Structure 1
Amino acid sequence: MIKKIHLTLLLVLTVVFGFSNLKAQKKDNPAKIKNVVLVHGAFVDGSGWKGVYDILTKRGYDVTIAQIPLTSLKDDNAAVRRILDKLDGQAVLVGHSWGGTVITEASSHKNVGSLVYVTAFQPDKGESTDTWYSSQPGFPEAGILPPDNEGFAYYDVEKFHAGFAADLSHDQATFMAHSQKPILASSFITAVTAADWHTKPTFGIVPTSDKSINPIILRNMYKRSGTKVTEIKGASHAVFISHPQEVANVIIEASK
């Protein structure tokens, strides 16, 4: 009789603990995608992703930061695709600002599992960055200058803090302004030829105090595409630097 009770108790405990473990696994919801590719935008380079990179790598993600040349949509797309070609499995492809146009062009690659737009342009086939940038009035703080004699556009150093990185320190914004990477202005009027946000899970981040891209533009693009949107109150265009945890959280969600 005692032996039978012990066996019954053991069976009950096995079921209970087994169920508890199952609940824990569901709650943890482990990532299905372990690769992440981060793409910077115009006027900056990949170093701004350092905070997001640190968070994701500590969580076990394999993170690659694309250093795109900003010389054309074709060149930038090729730089991202070279990274995707080398991956073992699918990736969450993340773009900031102009990088959104780039990841849209690269979105048809077989190793792109999901897309994250960080205050980023999201054109459709046949549309360019300027299609959307010119769709709403800009802010006086914005500082994109007319192209120089070689066709490259820079961001006004005097406006960089207020227009690009208002939620960063003055010293950090000043350094970014003086180390900025110009973009060939013709890139902005080049139409994309792919837009797999139609068929792949897509997430977007809207910083409510962005002065470089009018948040209305972001909301309009993301509403059209059915993108799952996260708004970060008070964040600037440099949200990927100033709010790395919130940005990383969206990327982690996109990996699941």
Structure 2
Amino acid sequence: MRSSLKAMTLGLILAMSGAAAQSATPAARPTIVLVHGAFADASGWNGVVARLSRDGYPVIAAANPLRGLKSDAEALSALVKSIPGPVILVGHSYGGEVITEAASGRNNVSALVYVAGFLPDAGESAVTLSGKFPGSTLGGVLAPVALPDGGQDLYIQPGKFHAQFAADTDAATAALMAATQRPVTQQALSDAATTPTWKQLPSYVIYGTADRNIPAQVERFMAERAKARKTVVVEGGSHALMVSQPDKVAALIEEAASAR
């Protein structure tokens, strides 16, 4: 009888110890999916990826096709579906529209982070939002390329890229970005959003006061409308904050990832 009682007691202690150890195990960190916008590519996130990876976050810098809002969002949504566990979606510029649409119906998306990005409501586009308040000089520096289907690809003129897109980076970095920029279709920038998921998901915003693509006043309006949990304003920051301010961008992403 005593031996049976001892065995039961020992079993209970071991079970309680196991439960305590299990509860003490930290939850898996969410996967951070970074989505570039127009006139950029996934390498623009390199500095942010290095910091997030160093801090133990799994990271994917997704390739954004920049062909049309619906198809771009569908491609990102498929990627998100393939990821087990929670996901933080981070969008730069037009990529903000893409993450907003792609989050619809994806229950593993736990937060949205906008890096100089668009937070569109239904019916709004990059074109309509960027012109909501004065200040954007993007239209005057674009170089259109006619496409076989009758549409247009848009590039930023290389000689004007530094001042327009990445004024707070050094000249050599801006020259590389200009040479490797990926074009966006005129159609993608004109496509209207349909599903403002920032109305349901926690949103975080960072933007620069010297952004020449999306005026700071537009960014402030969108952040306030979305009731962003946190908004970081970078004095003198350009449109390319992920390149010029990777520490600040990574810090905001990690705050979104660790929020409860």
2:97 pairs with one of 94, 98, 101: 101
- Compared with structure 1, are the counterparts of its residues 225 and 56 closer, same or farther at alpha carbon in structure 2 (3 Å cutoff)? same
Matches within 5 A, 1:164-243: 164-227=165-228, 228-243=230-245
- Compared with structure 1, are the counterparts of its residues 158 and 82 closer, same or farther at alpha carbon in structure 2 (3 Å cutoff)? same
Equivalent pair of 1:31/1:255 in contact (CA under 8 Å): no
2: CA distance between counterparts of 1:177 and 1:245?
Answer: 23
Aligned residue in 2 for 1:48: 44
Q: What is the alpha-carbon root mean square deviation over aligned residues? A: 1.8
The SS at the match of 1:226 is coil
- Compared with structure 1, are the counterparts of its residues 126 and 90 closer, same or farther at alpha carbon in structure 2 (3 Å cutoff)? same
2: CA distance between counterparts of 1:64 and 1:174?
Answer: 25
Equivalent pair of 2:143/2:156 in contact (CA under 8 Å): no
2:127 pairs with one of 127, 130, 136: 130
Of stretches 147-156 and 235-244 in structure 1, the one that deviates more from structure 2 is: 147-156
Of stretches 77-86 and 180-189 in structure 1, the one that deviates more from structure 2 is: 77-86
The SS at the match of 1:95 is strand
Aligned residue in 1 for 2:255: 253
| Corresponding position: 1:89 with 2:79 | no
Q: Specify every segment of 5 or more residues in structure 2 that has no aligned partner in the other structure, as ranges.
A: 1-23
Equivalent pair of 2:207/2:239 in contact (CA under 8 Å): no
| Corresponding position: 1:64 with 2:60 | yes
2: CA distance between counterparts of 1:146 and 1:49?
Answer: 24
Deviations 1:110-167 (A, max 9, x none): 2211000001011012221222111122344775416332211111212110110111
2: CA distance between counterparts of 1:69 and 1:97?
Answer: 14
Q: Specify every segment of 5 or more residues in structure 1 that has no aligned partner in the other structure, as ranges.
A: 1-24
Q: Structure 1 counterpart of 2:250, which letter?
A: A
Aligned residue in 2 for 1:15: none
Aligned residue in 2 for 1:11: none
- Compared with structure 1, are the counterparts of its residues 188 and 233 closer, same or farther at alpha carbon in structure 2 (3 Å cutoff)? same
2: CA distance between counterparts of 1:232 and 1:215?
Answer: 10
- Measured after TM superposition, the shift of residue 33 of structure 1 is 4.6
Aligned residue in 2 for 1:6: none
Equivalent pair of 1:161/1:170 in contact (CA under 8 Å): yes
The SS at the match of 2:156 is coil
Q: Structure 2 counterpart of 1:164, which letter?
A: F
Aligned residue in 2 for 1:9: none
2: CA distance between counterparts of 1:76 and 1:31?
Answer: 31
2: CA distance between counterparts of 1:32 and 1:223?
Answer: 31
**TM-score (normalizing by structure 2):** 0.83
Identity value in percent: 42
**TM-score (normalizing by structure 1):** 0.84
The SS at the match of 1:138 is coil
Equivalent pair of 2:154/2:185 in contact (CA under 8 Å): yes
Equivalent pair of 1:165/1:237 in contact (CA under 8 Å): yes
- Compared with structure 1, are the counterparts of its residues 140 and 43 closer, same or farther at alpha carbon in structure 2 (3 Å cutoff)? closer
Equivalent pair of 2:153/2:184 in contact (CA under 8 Å): yes
The SS at the match of 1:136 is coil
- Measured after TM superposition, the shift of residue 78 of structure 1 is 2.0
| Corresponding position: 1:34 with 2:36 | no
Equivalent pair of 1:208/1:234 in contact (CA under 8 Å): yes
Q: Structure 2 counterpart of 1:94, which letter?
A: V
2: CA distance between counterparts of 1:32 and 1:118?
Answer: 24
- Measured after TM superposition, the shift of residue 79 of structure 1 is 2.1
The SS at the match of 1:120 is coil
